[in-house]
Structure 1
Amino acid sequence: MTDMTDQIDHLFAAWAKLDSPGAAVAVMQDGEIVLKRGYGMANLDHDVPIEPSSIFHAASVSKQFTAMAVYMLAGEGKLTLEDDARSYIPQLPDLGFPITLRHLLHHTSGLRDQWDLLTLAGWRYSKDLITDDDVLRLVSRQRTLNFPPGARFLYCNTGYTLLAQVVQNVTGQSFRQFTTSRLFKALGMARTFFRDRHGEVIKGVAYGYHPCGEGFEAAPTNFETVGATSLLTTVEDLALWDANFYSGLVGGKSVFDQMHQRGVLNDGSLTGYGGGVGLGTYRGFNIVEHTGGDAGYRSDLMRFPEQGLSIAILSNLSSIDPPALARRIADIVLKPILPGQRENPRRVPTIDSMPQLELERLAGVYIDPEDGDQILHLHYGNGKLLGGAAAAKEQAFELEPMGSGHFRYILFPRTQILVEGDGALSLLVDDRPINRFVRLASYSCSPAELEEFVGTYRSPETGYEYDVVLYDGGLASRALKQLPQPMTVMAKDLFVEGRSRLRFRRDDKGVVAGLELNSERTRNFNLDRLPSE
C-alpha cells in the first residue's frame, strides 16, 4: 500500500504545491476506498488546500446521475424510453422526426449541442450566465437536425439538459430536489447536489483555474443549467456512488443493466456509449467511464467492473488530464495482473520500424466532405505520427502503427486509421467506419477573391449577427461580444475558424449568399448574408 501511495503521489507531484491548483483522488477496491488524497490548493486567494472532502464541479460526470434518474422513473412506470421527448418538453420543436428519450440518453438524437448554439448566439462560455431557459429558448428556434435520430452517435449535451427537464415535468420537483432525495440522501452523499443557482454560497468548494503565464487565473463556471452538467461532488461521495454499483442499494440490477447497454443505431450497429457512461476497454479490461470538463474543472470516474477497481479524480485546473492520470493509476494498481493482458496481444511494430519517408508522406490535411467538412490533420515529427482536428500539432494525439498503413491512437485505442489504396484515410471506431478522409490540396485566395466574402451574416436559429471582414491579409469573423476570429482558407469557398468549418454558399449567379457552419457537434448550421446597406 505504501508503494502504491508513493507512486500515485509522484503522479501528482507537479501540483502538490501551496501555489498551484490541483486535484482530489480516490481509489476504490470492491466498493471500499483504499486511497484518498488531495493535491494542491482549492483556493489560491485564501490558501485553502484541497482535501478528499473538497467539493468540485464535476462537469459531464453529471450525466450518469441524470440517466439513472430517468431509468428509475421508467422502472416505476412514469415514462418509457420510447416516449417522444416533445410530449414532456413543449419547447422542443417538431423537427420532422420523433426524438425519443432513448435517443437523448444515447446521444443519437441529432440535436445540436447546447454549448455550440450558445456560442453561436453570442454567449461567452462560462462568463455570461447560462440558464436552462436560455438553452430551451435556443432549442425552440432550431429548424433542422444534425442528422435523423438514430442515424449516428454524436455527443450532445442538449439531450441531457432536456432529460433533466423531463424529470422535473414528470415528478413536479426540481431536478435538484428529485436527485437529492432519491439518489444522494439515499446513498449518504451529503456533499453532492446539482447546483441550479450560480450565486449560491458553498462551503468547501474548490475554485476553477486556467494556466496564465507563469501563474493562474480564476476560471469559475457561470451556470444555472443542470442535467448535462452542474453536479457538485467530492471524491469521497463518488466512492459511495461507485459502491452502489456493487450493493444495488439505489436503482438495482435492472437500472444498472440499462445504463450499461450500448446505444443501437438505426442500422443495428452499437455505439460505445450506454446511459450516461462510456463503455470501452483499457489494456484488455472492460471499463465504464465518464470524463468531464467545464471552465477550469476537469474530472474522470472510471470503473473496472470485473476487477472491482474504480478511480475518481476531480481537478480544478484545466491543464490537468484526469483520464490519462486515471489510466496511470490503473497501471500501478493492476500491475500484478497486467502481463499477458495487453489490449492487443500480438506484437505491435514500433514507429521506428516503419520507413520515415512513408510517415512523412502521410502528414498533411485531409477532409471528409460527406460529414460536415470534417478536417483531419496528420503531423510528423521526432519519429512520431500525430493526428487531430486542430491544425496545431500541440493539440494532436500520437498514433502507433498496427502494420503497414494501419494506425491507432495510443490514448484512444478504439479509434483507428487505415490508409486506403487511393491514399484516402478511413477512420474507424470499434472497427466500424465513421469517416473517409481525402487529402486536401493547398489553396489560396487573392485579395479580390477575399472581398467576395465580406459582409454581415445572420441565422434565423439564433438571430445573432456576424461580420466577415478583411483581417491581417485574410478573413476573420467579428461579432458584438468577441474579438476578431481569424479564418484560414482550406479550399474554394471553405475556411476553418478554430474548430469550425465555414463553407460559403453561392446563388445561381455565383454571388456569395450565405454560409454553412459545421463544428465538432454541429452540422448544417446556416447563416444568410444580409443585404448591404
Structure 2
Amino acid sequence: MKTIATAFLVSVTAFPALAQPNDGIDAVFARYTGESVPGCAVGVEKDGKTVLERAYGMADIEERVRAQPSSIYEAGSISKQFTAAAIVLLARDGTLALSDDIRKYLPEMPDYGTPITIEHLIQHTSGLRDWGSISAMEGWPRNSRSANNDDVLAIAARQKGLNYAPGAHYSYSNTNFNLAAIIVARVSGQSFAAFTKARIFDPLGMTSTQWRERYRTLVPGRATAYAREGDTYVIDQPIEDAHGNGGLLTTVKDLLAWNAALDADRLGVGFRAAMERVGVLTDGTRIVYASGLLVDKHRGIDEVAHSGATGGYRAWLARYPAQRLSIALLCNAGDVEPVAIGHSVADHYLSGLAPMPVYKPSGKLPAGLYVSEVTGAPISIVADAEGGLRIDGKALDPVAPGRWSLSGTDFVFGRRNDLVVEANGERLRYRRVEPVEMVDPTPFAGRYCGADNPFCMVVRAAPDGGLSIATTGRPGLAAQPLKPAFTDVFTSKYATIRFVRDASGAVSGLTYGDSRAWAVEFTRTP
C-alpha cells in the first residue's frame, strides 16, 4: 500500500546520538538517532519506579524539532485496549452486558442468524469483515481518504456476509472496535472521547492523552509521522477521523500510568481481571486475545501487550506482571518494527528468560504451496540457499523437528503433506496443493459485481497472456496483475482471488479476500 500525502523528501543520514548512559539501550535505537531521521520515545518502569525515559531522532524534521520523552505520538492499535476498557466500565456499571447482541445498540447491522455479542467485538471473534479491507477492495486503502465512525458503520452494515460464524474463529478486524466506540457513545449519552476522558484519562492523570476525532485539529507537541521511501523519508500522517480502533494521541509517560493503573486495579477491584480474560471460541479453544490485549508469553515470561501502526506511527505497550516491569514505545518512523524493538528493550530488564531455541534442520525441506482449510488463502513456503525456509522473503526460524517459527506464529509440518499454523491460540490446518504456473485467461475475463458492496471487479486478459484485476470503485486506478496459485485461485499484491464455477463448470463469480476480509463475494454479470 502506497503512502499518502508525500509532502517533502529528506536524505536518510544519521547524526551522532545525544550522550546517554551506556546501558545498551542506545544501541537498540542506533538507526533512529540524529537530526534527519524520525525516531522513538521509550519509557520503562520497574518495581513502580521510572528507570528509563528517553527519546531518539526528530519529532519534526522540517522544523528540526528533536523528539522528547514528552512528545505526543499516535498509538495505533494500542488504542483498542482503551476502547475495550470503556466497554468493561459500562458493563461494570450495569448499563450494558458483554453478552448483549450488538444489534440492541446498532440496529443498522444485519441479522446474521447467530448474534454477535459485544464481547465478540472486543476479542476479535465477531467474524465481521475489516472495513479497511473492504475500502481497499473498492480502491481506497486506509489513509487514502478520510473516514469517520459513521462511515465505518455504513460499510459494516452493508456486509451481509461474515468471515465465519460469530465465535468460531479469531480474525483481527478494526471494524470491531469502531463499532464498540459507537456503542459506548450511544449507551453513555456522551461522545466516546468525552466518556473516556471523564472515566479513564482524567482519573488516571493521563493529561497528554486524547483521541484523534478530527485529524485537522492542532495538537501542540505532536510528532509528525514519516514513512520510508528508498533512501528518503516522506510525511505519512493519518488523515482519518475514525477512532476507537486507533487514533489515540498520547505519550510514553501516560501509557506507563495506564499500565500502572491496571496493575493496581485503580479502576475498580476486578477490572484488570476483566480486561485480561481471554476469548474462548465455540469449540472451546482459548485464544490469547483478551479485551484489546494479548495475554501471552515472551520467552517463558507472562506478557500482556499490544502493538500499533497507523500511517507512519508505530507503537508497543507491554506489562510483565510477575517481573513488575512495564514498557511503552512510541515512534514516528514507519519502518520501525515495534515488537522486535520493544522485546529488545524488555530483555535488558527481564530475568529468567528461556534461551532462544537452537535447532538445525536436516532432510528434505517442506517447501511448497499450502492453502488454509478455513480462509482459503494460500501461502508459499520457499527453500532458500542457506537451507532454511522463507515466506514472502521473511526467514522462518527452525525451533524443533518439523516446527518453524516467524513473529510468534508456528508452522508445524506433518508427514502427509499437511501443515498446521499455530497463531493466537488457534491451530489452523493447511493442505498442500499443486501450484499452477500458466492458465488460459479466457474463461476468467469478465465483470464481477459485489453482492454486498456497490462496486465491481473487472478481470481482463493481459497482453502477456496473463490476467489483471481492477475495481470500478475508483476509476483510473491501475489494474493489479493476477498470479496463478492453484486451480481457479490467483493472488494479487493485496489479495487472494478464487473463481467460482456453476454446475456446468462455467465461471459464475469470484471471491476476493485478505487476512481481515476472507471471501467477499462478487457475481459475474453479462
Length-normalised TM-score, structure 2: 0.92
Task: Answer whether contact 1:55 1:191 (CA < 8 A) is retained.
Answer: yes
Pairs within 5 Å for 1:378-389: 378-383=381-386, 385-388=388-391
Question: SS in structure 2 opposite 1:301?
Answer: strand
1:493 aligns with 2:499: no
Q: Which runs of 5+ in 1 are unaligned?
A: none
Give the match for residue 199 of structure 1: 216
Give the match for residue 407 of structure 1: 404
- Cα distance in structure 2, aligned partners of 1:42 and 1:465: 42
Following superposition, the deviation at residue 387 of structure 1 comes to 4.3
User: One-letter code of the match for 2:452?
Assistant: E
Q: Give the counterpart of 1:358 among 361, 364, 368.
A: 364
- Cα distance in structure 1, aligned partners of 2:497 and 2:421: 22
1:510 aligns with 2:505: yes
Following superposition, the deviation at residue 42 of structure 1 comes to 1.4
Q: Give the counterpart of 2:459 among 464, 468, 473.
A: 468
The C-alpha deviation readout for 1:74-102, integer Å capped at 9, x for no partner, is 11111111111100112211122111111
Pairs within 5 Å for 1:246-257: 246-249=263-266, 251-257=267-273
- Cα distance in structure 1, aligned partners of 2:60 and 2:442: 49
Task: Answer whether contact 1:99 1:149 (CA < 8 A) is retained.
Answer: yes
Question: SS in structure 1 opposite 2:256?
Answer: helix
Following superposition, the deviation at residue 381 of structure 1 comes to 2.3
Following superposition, the deviation at residue 399 of structure 1 comes to 2.1
Following superposition, the deviation at residue 272 of structure 1 comes to 0.6
Give the match for residue 344 of structure 2: 328
Pairs within 5 Å for 1:199-238: 199-238=216-255
Between stretches 90-99 and 471-480, larger displacement belongs to: 471-480
User: One-letter code of the match for 1:400?
Assistant: P
1:417 aligns with 2:411: yes
Following superposition, the deviation at residue 320 of structure 1 comes to 0.4
Q: Give the counterpart of 1:452 among 443, 455, 468.
A: 443
- Cα distance in structure 1, aligned partners of 2:100 and 2:367: 47
Task: Answer whether contact 2:404 2:412 (CA < 8 A) is retained.
Answer: yes
Runs of at least 4 residues of structure 1 off by over 3 A?
2-6, 429-432
1:124 aligns with 2:141: yes
Give the match for residue 327 of structure 2: 311
Give the match for residue 422 of structure 2: 428
- Cα distance in structure 2, aligned partners of 1:384 and 1:155: 33
* Residue 147 to residue 333, structure 1, CA distance change in 2 (3 Å): same
Please provide the CA RMSD for this pair: 1.9
Identity of aligned residues (%): 33
1:164 aligns with 2:181: yes
User: One-letter code of the match for 1:402?
Assistant: A
Following superposition, the deviation at residue 441 of structure 1 comes to 1.9
- Cα distance in structure 2, aligned partners of 1:295 and 1:384: 36
* Residue 32 to residue 177, structure 1, CA distance change in 2 (3 Å): same
Give the match for residue 522 of structure 1: 517
Give the match for residue 88 of structure 1: 105
Question: SS in structure 2 opposite 1:269?
Answer: coil
Give the match for residue 284 of structure 2: 268
The C-alpha deviation readout for 1:110-167, integer Å capped at 9, x for no partner, is 1111211221233232020011111111111111111111111111211111110110
1:484 aligns with 2:479: yes
- Cα distance in structure 1, aligned partners of 2:322 and 2:385: 39
1:342 aligns with 2:339: no
Give the match for residue 99 of structure 1: 116
* Residue 387 to residue 107, structure 1, CA distance change in 2 (3 Å): farther
Q: How many residues align?
A: 504
- Cα distance in structure 2, aligned partners of 1:120 and 1:419: 33
Give the match for residue 367 of structure 1: 371
Following superposition, the deviation at residue 460 of structure 1 comes to 3.2
- Cα distance in structure 1, aligned partners of 2:505 and 2:306: 47
Task: Answer whether contact 1:42 1:50 (CA < 8 A) is retained.
Answer: yes
- Cα distance in structure 1, aligned partners of 2:519 and 2:95: 36
- Cα distance in structure 2, aligned partners of 1:496 and 1:72: 43
* Residue 261 to residue 4, structure 1, CA distance change in 2 (3 Å): farther
The C-alpha deviation readout for 1:330-369, integer Å capped at 9, x for no partner, is 11122xx33xx4168xxx4522xx32x523xx2222112x
Between stretches 423-432 and 262-271, larger displacement belongs to: 423-432
User: One-letter code of the match for 1:272?
Assistant: V
The C-alpha deviation readout for 1:233-253, integer Å capped at 9, x for no partner, is 11111111111123332x223
User: One-letter code of the match for 2:388?
Assistant: L
Task: Answer whether contact 1:132 1:161 (CA < 8 A) is retained.
Answer: yes
The C-alpha deviation readout for 1:462-489, integer Å capped at 9, x for no partner, is 2122221233522121232532211110
Following superposition, the deviation at residue 506 of structure 1 comes to 2.1
* Residue 431 to residue 326, structure 1, CA distance change in 2 (3 Å): closer
Give the match for residue 398 of structure 1: 396
The C-alpha deviation readout for 1:485-510, integer Å capped at 9, x for no partner, is 11110122110112411111123333
- Cα distance in structure 1, aligned partners of 2:209 and 2:298: 29
User: One-letter code of the match for 1:475?
Assistant: L
Pairs within 5 Å for 1:138-153: 138-153=155-170
Task: Answer whether contact 2:374 2:428 (CA < 8 A) is retained.
Answer: no
- Cα distance in structure 2, aligned partners of 1:269 and 1:399: 26
Task: Answer whether contact 1:5 1:35 (CA < 8 A) is retained.
Answer: no
Length-normalised TM-score, structure 1: 0.90
* Residue 59 to residue 5, structure 1, CA distance change in 2 (3 Å): farther
Q: Give the counterpart of 1:290 among 306, 320, 331.
A: 306
User: One-letter code of the match for 2:412?
Assistant: L
1:259 aligns with 2:252: no
* Residue 132 to residue 494, structure 1, CA distance change in 2 (3 Å): same
* Residue 304 to residue 201, structure 1, CA distance change in 2 (3 Å): same
- Cα distance in structure 1, aligned partners of 2:386 and 2:371: 24
User: One-letter code of the match for 2:68?
Assistant: E
- Cα distance in structure 1, aligned partners of 2:379 and 2:223: 36
* Residue 300 to residue 34, structure 1, CA distance change in 2 (3 Å): same
User: One-letter code of the match for 1:471?
Assistant: A
Question: SS in structure 2 opposite 1:523?
Answer: coil
Question: SS in structure 2 opposite 1:240?
Answer: helix
Following superposition, the deviation at residue 385 of structure 1 comes to 2.7
Give the structure with the larger helix fraction: 1
Task: Answer whether contact 1:62 1:231 (CA < 8 A) is retained.
Answer: yes
Following superposition, the deviation at residue 382 of structure 1 comes to 4.8
Following superposition, the deviation at residue 430 of structure 1 comes to 7.2
Pairs within 5 Å for 1:32-111: 32-111=49-128
Q: Give the counterpart of 1:11 among 28, 52, 56.
A: 28
Task: Answer whether contact 1:263 1:274 (CA < 8 A) is retained.
Answer: yes
Q: Which runs of 5+ in 2 are unaligned?
A: 1-18
Following superposition, the deviation at residue 25 of structure 1 comes to 0.7
User: One-letter code of the match for 1:419?
Assistant: F
- Cα distance in structure 1, aligned partners of 2:415 and 2:73: 49
Q: Give the counterpart of 1:277 among 293, 304, 327.
A: 293
- Cα distance in structure 2, aligned partners of 1:430 and 1:62: 19
Question: SS in structure 2 opposite 1:302?
Answer: strand
